Amino acid sequence: MTESPETQEKKKQIEKTKTIVGFYLLAAIFVLIAIASVTYFEHLNSVLLKTVLYVGVAGGLGGVFYGIRGFIYHTSEDDFDPKWRWWYLYHPVTGFVLGVLAYFLIVGGLLTLGSVSQVDYTKGILLYCSISFLAGFSAKKFNEKLDELASTIFSTSSSASTKTASTAANLVVSDFPNPVTAGMAGSVKVTAKDAKGKLVTTYTGTVKITSSDNQATLPKDCRFQPSDKGVYTFTDVTLNTTGSQSITATDSQNGSITGSQTAITVNKAAS
């Protein structure tokens, strides 16, 4: 069957965007390596500046490699979405920043990594670069750690925090494709609401995703962060059994805080 001009144009745009993103990620590697090389061969007077550049490059490379991993995965699955192009473009930059931030948090004593008895900008530079690489590679987890640090430092009362986190009465599960083809991954949005149906922006519970489909592929449990404002989208949810299925979200500490998206029609995959 001949594809419509709109479909052909859309495919061309996707291929063009993939080419741009692919070249950008490769170019980012060379740029970061160039920065590290210049930093190594130039005899900078400031040890601090030299160290910052090293850990920044390490974090940037972590961001690049995480972007490459996502790029290869979505390209191989043939579900690359051009709307995410900015995510790929910004990730090396945010990785650089997070790498530097991770270093200063460790040296400053807010993040513990073994015994750091004094501020020494050259102490264990390879170790610091490794941690910075992981910060850039696992930006989401590092941001979650930052949220924990901020909550610990700036919270006025742990009991007040518990009180605001427990105001949620139920979880609203929505936005999973319906109908859906068996084996096709989708996303599901989970929203925390109180007894009156209002959004609970302070909800910070850990949510577990389950399904009536015993063969479903489900994401790991996730703790809502303050930055989520009571709404979180779980990705890579796959229903594999045909028929009418449901997806349920439940607070791991309070089973009464729960909710489901029901009557999801799962159609058989084309042979």
Closest CA to 56 of 30, 70, 41, 35: 35
Q: Supply the pTM of this predicted model.
A: 0.52
Give the tens place of pLDDT for each residue, 18-32: 899 889 999 999 999
Domain covering 164-267, topology: Immunoglobulin-like (2.60.40)
Prior bond to 179 cis, omega within 30? Answer: yes
What's the pLDDT score for residue 111? 72
DSSP 159-222: HHHHHHHT---EEEEE---SSEETT-EEEEEEEEE-TTS-B-TT---EEEEEES-TT-B-PPPE
Q: Cβ(131)–Cβ(97) under 8 Å? A: no
Give the tens place of pLDDT for each residue, 136-170: 999 888 888 888 888 777 764 444 444 444 488 99
User: Structure tokens of 135?
Assistant: 């910060």
**Alpha helix ranges (H) inside the chain:** 5-41, 47-76, 85-107, 125-137, 139-154, 158-165
Give the tens place of pLDDT for each residue, 176-234: 999 999 999 999 999 999 988 999 999 999 999 999 999 999 999 999 998 999 999 99
What's the pLDDT score for residue 115? 45
Domain limits, the chain: 5-154, 164-267
Side chain identity, residue 203: Y
How, if at all, do strands 185-193 and 170-174 pair?
Answer: antiparallel
Is the CA virtual torsion 131, 135, 136, 137 positive or negative? positive
